[in-house]
Amino acid sequence: MSPIVEAAALSLPRAMAAAAAEMDEALDALLPAVEGPEGRLYEAMRYATIGGGKRLRGFLALEGARQFGVSRNAALRVAAAIEMVHAYSLVHDDLPAMDDDDLRRGKPTVHRAFDEATAILAGDALQCHAFTVLAEEDTHRDPAVRAELVRGLSRAAGPRGMCGGQMLDMLAEYADEPLSESQVGRLQTLKTGKLIEFAAESGAILGKAPPQLRHALCLYGRELGAAFQIADDLLDATASADEAGKRTGKDAAAGKATLVGLLGPERARLQAERLVAQAKAHLDGFTERVDHLRMLADFTIQRRS
């Protein structure tokens, strides 16, 4: 049985776990343990990326690529690059000058396990290495595809994407006035939405998909990302740290504006459900292999961690 058929036959949690294991293998190969003095940097990069997290973004990239028959190796490289960027953002967000967190994915944050300087550098190097991986020929023989992946990932992660959203988040904490619903929506679109959207789109770029299918995956990712963020905030408001693998209740403690805080948990949950329905509707143009993406949309608001 080919890996593609095999994966399609699995239930979502098993498919995600299998994909996470494949991504760990890919990350292990792309971030080898290195001897000698700079080994510490690789060690911190590996600590931050391998063996943790739901791999939502990487899974989206893999499932998107699967729609278009992309080679597993190429899809895993793109998934790994996106997970490197996601991991770097967590390493830097956890720093004392940012959210000052001690726990991440159920273990000490990088600056706690190593030190602050190493955490800053490991984050910097992870972001950088993600672009090396995308730009290398092993990702796709067509350089136009590689250049487009770089452009897409860098825009999603840059000042008008993830970094811009994180800036808004920091400013909201400094400010006296709470953010409005539309401001919170914009913050979250930038901070987490853009990268999730790109992850969903990346498989279509890699598979040179027809524009209309690529756009549909993009919109699916956008709605999914918004639902995911609400679910994350609900989790932060209701789950224990043991369940979530990170400190919870911290949004309320920090006075952070979330849709859950603004709308209340009931209305927020309804909105997340509406977003999930919309996300699934964007998959209607696909005829097969989209079961996981449909299930993933539902899973987004059902998960407990």
Q: Is 18 in the site for its own copies (CB under 8 A)?
A: no
65 in contact with its own copies (CB under 8 A): no
* Distance of closest approach, residue 105 Cβ to its own copies, in angstroms: 20
Among 173, 43, 159, residue whose Cα is nearest residue 100? 173
Q: Taking CB under 8 A as the rule, does residue 150 contact its own copies?
A: yes
Q: 107 phi and psi, to 5 degrees?
A: -140, 170
Regarding 157 and contact with its own copies (CB under 8 A), the answer is yes
Q: What is the largest CA-CA distance in the chain?
A: 59
Nearest to 45 by CA among 2, 80, 4: 80
Shortest distance, position 172 Cβ to its own copies, whole Å: 8
Q: Which is nearer to its own copies, 143 or 285 (CB)?
A: 143
Q: Which is nearer to its own copies, 184 or 276 (CB)?
A: 184
Which pairing describes strands 103-104 and 107-108: parallel, antiparallel, or unpaired? antiparallel
Return the CA Rg of the chain: 18
Could you tell me which stretch among 70-78, 125-133, 255-263, 286-294 binds its own copies (CB under 8 A)? 125-133
Q: How far is the CB of 74 from its own copies (least distance, A)?
A: 14
136 binds its own copies, rule: CB under 8 A: yes
> What is the CA 128 to chain-centroid distance, rounded?
17
The answer to whether the CB of 113 falls within 8 A of the CB of 84 is: no
Which DSSP symbol is given to 139?
G
CA distance 53 to 26: 15
Stretch that binds its own copies, among 38-46, 70-78, 261-269, 287-295 (CB under 8 A): 38-46
Q: Is residue 50 close enough to count as binding its own copies by CB under 8 A?
A: no
- Residue 90 in the binding site for its own copies (CB under 8 A): no
171 binds its own copies (CB under 8 A): yes
Binding of residue 155 to its own copies (CB under 8 A): yes
Q: How far apart are CA 111 and CA 124, in angstroms?
A: 13
Across the strands, what pairs with 90?
none
Identified binder of its own copies from the candidate list 10, 50, 103, 135, rule CB under 8 A: 135
End-to-end CA distance of the chain: 32
Q: Is the dihedral of CA 258, 262, 263, 265 positive or negative?
A: positive
Does 166 contact its own copies by CB under 8 A? yes
Tell whether residue 40 is a contact of its own copies (CB under 8 A). yes
**Residue 181 in contact with its own copies, rule: CB under 8 A:** no
Count the site residues for its own copies by CB under 8 A. 52
H or E stretch including 295?
A: helix 291-302
Interacting residues toward its own copies by CB under 8 A: 37-38, 40-42, 45, 88-89, 92, 95, 97-98, 115-118, 120-121, 123-125, 127-129, 131-132, 134-136, 142-144, 146-148, 150-151, 154-155, 157-160, 163-164, 166-168, 170-171, 183, 190
